[in-house]
Structure 1
Amino acid sequence: MRDGRPRGRVIWAPVAAAALSGLVIGGLARLLMRGIALAVGGLTGMSLAGTVAILVAFVVLALPAAVTAAARPAIMHAGRWVTVALTGLVAARTGLGDAKIIVLADDDQLTPITMLIVAFAAIVVAHGRLAQHLTRRFRALPHAPAEALRTPDARPV
């Protein structure tokens, strides 16, 4: 690489950033989905399979933003908004799976539901931004020389 950083960092930084941002935002989304179910009086159980599927989906959806984090500004913004658009679509379809329940909700349920939907929108926008921020941070980590990684000799000098 021209900047002296190892080539592997170009690959692992976006992957690690997508994984971390996907786990964080996916976890928050899962909690918000349960909040909406609770607000409308639905089932509030969380299955392990459903949670894992949501987390994996959010990790994969973070990849466009993470991969374009170090690109020119136009490409970087496009990558971020691809992540936001795809995440928003998936979150809306999954989190608001039964829209009839929300439409038929009582007046006292509308405020918490509205707040949860706004929170969904906020984390969806944060998803792409977090993935790009983490990618840039991971790429900027200092390179550890091979000598620093070796175990020190236990013999006294």
Structure 2
Amino acid sequence: MQESGKRRGIVRLVAAVLGGALAAGIVVGVVARLLMRAILLAVDMPTSFTAGGTAGVLVAFAVLAVPAAATATARPAIRHAGRWVTAVVTGWGAARNGFADAKVLLLADESQMPLIALLTVAFAAAVVAHGRLAQYVTRYAAGQRATVN
């Protein structure tokens, strides 16, 4: 009987981790896609996004949320480390993609720069929120107090 309860607990935790990563990936992926579109609009570039490309962004953000989600129920030091791993890896990927279009940003009109800067800061905030959201949802789904320390 005790073995069965332990197995159910492990299954619930694994489901919570996958659900937390998926939820954070979808939410932050959609925000990132909207910010990408806004940046392209700000520099007067075409904004044709494909459904496949959007799905790829959502999957990438879900996968990148796994370290934070997997450490959501651990001790605080491990939980913070998981969040930092997610933030660093997500931030690195976002920066690499952003710098791929750096020429477009450098050639942007000076009047567009404040909006581009604001959108870049919003992207950074989304990167930081990514791991926090994954941990919050995972802890909630695992039946723990849903706070993020």
TM-score, normalization: structure 2? 0.88
The 5-angstrom pairing of residues 4-153 of structure 1 reads: 6-140=9-143
Of residues 40-49 and 14-23 in structure 1, the stretch that sits farther from structure 2 once superposed is 40-49
Query: Whole-Å Cα distance in 1 between the matches of residues 89 and 138 of structure 2?
Result: 19
The structure with more helix, counted as a fraction of residues: 2
Tell me how many residue pairs correspond in the alignment. 141
Query: Whole-Å Cα distance in 1 between the matches of residues 45 and 100 of structure 2?
Result: 12
Q: How far apart are 1:95 and its partner, in Å?
A: 4.0
Query: Whole-Å Cα distance in 1 between the matches of residues 12 and 89 of structure 2?
Result: 26
**Counterpart secondary structure, 1:8:** helix
Greater Cα radius of gyration, structure 1 or 2: 1
Q: Which amino acid aligns with 1:125?
A: V
The superposition leaves residues 35-76 of structure 1 with CA deviations (integer Å, 9 ceiling, x where unpaired) of 111111111111111101100000000000000011111111
Query: Where in structure 1 do 4 or more consecutive aligned residues deviate above 6 Å?
Result: 1-5
Give the gaps of 5 or more residues in structure 1.
Answer: 142-157
The superposition leaves residues 10-51 of structure 1 with CA deviations (integer Å, 9 ceiling, x where unpaired) of 110010010011000000000100111111111111111110
Query: Whole-Å Cα distance in 2 between the matches of residues 45 and 92 of structure 1?
Result: 21
Q: Which amino acid aligns with 1:112?
A: L
Identity %: 53
Give the gaps of 5 or more residues in structure 2.
Answer: 145-149
Q: How far apart are 1:127 and its partner, in Å?
A: 0.2
CA distance 1:96–1:40, shift in 2 (3 Å): farther
Q: How far apart are 1:92 and its partner, in Å?
A: 1.9
Q: Which amino acid aligns with 2:68?
A: A
TM-score, normalization: structure 1? 0.84
Q: Where does residue 147 of structure 2 map in the other structure?
A: none
Of residues 99-108 and 54-63 in structure 1, the stretch that sits farther from structure 2 once superposed is 99-108
Q: How far apart are 1:108 and its partner, in Å?
A: 0.8
Q: How far apart are 1:96 and its partner, in Å?
A: 4.6
